[in-house]
Amino acid sequence: MQQSHSYCPECGNTIALVEFEQTYMLKCSTCKAEYYFDPKVSAVCALISDNQVLLIKRGNEPGYGKWSLPGGYVDRSEKVEDAVIREIREETGLRIEDITLLGVYSSTGSPVIVIAYLTRASSGHITPNHEVLECGFFDLNTLPELAFPRDEEIIRLAAVS
């Protein structure tokens, strides 16, 4: 975990990162004022059509060269549904509209909260962007090596939803 170098607006001393049971907060070392240290929110989408799911081959770490559901980080003040539609468009070139919430995934010690959606229709043509090595549909019974075990759980849930 990277050390913060912020200064306390109350007293001007250094704000430190404090760990408690694998969770983190920011606290002034002098006056003990506490500050928000927000988690990161990511939104992914399982696009399922004809018993196939859309996956991307990752061009970034974590999981470079392995496959995952398309998606990405939600921007501050952005509506989550808008973020997932935007990310699918950016990463795969496909437009999606009707999305259904599948679930929310998080784990102790990880700053990332993943919000997963399902959609069954898209328009446009697959045109992966620079963050993506490849993009394509895979049969639900023959998935490639996935970067995140969570994605398989999401895909299994999507398939029966």
* Interface with Zn ion (CB under 5 A): 8, 10-11, 28, 30-31, 33
User: Whole-number minimum distance, CB 137 to Zn ion, in Å?
Assistant: 54
User: Whole-number minimum distance, CB 14 to Zn ion, in Å?
Assistant: 9
Do residues 37 and 24 make contact, with C-beta atoms less than 8 angstroms apart? yes
User: Whole-number minimum distance, CB 27 to Zn ion, in Å?
Assistant: 9
When the beta carbons of 31 and 121 are compared against Zn ion, the nearer one is 31
Q: What is the SS3 assignment for 152?
A: helix
When the beta carbons of 18 and 31 are compared against Zn ion, the nearer one is 31
Beta strands in the chain (DSSP E): 15-20, 23-28, 34-35, 40-49, 52-58, 67-68, 71-73, 100-105, 112-119, 132-139
Do residues 95 and 59 make contact, with C-beta atoms less than 8 angstroms apart? no
When the beta carbons of 10 and 139 are compared against Zn ion, the nearer one is 10
Enter the DSSP assignment of 27: E
Instruction: Specify whether 134 is catalytic.
Output: yes
Query: Of the listed 81, 90, 134, 153, which one is catalytic?
Result: 134
Residues carrying an active site annotation: 134
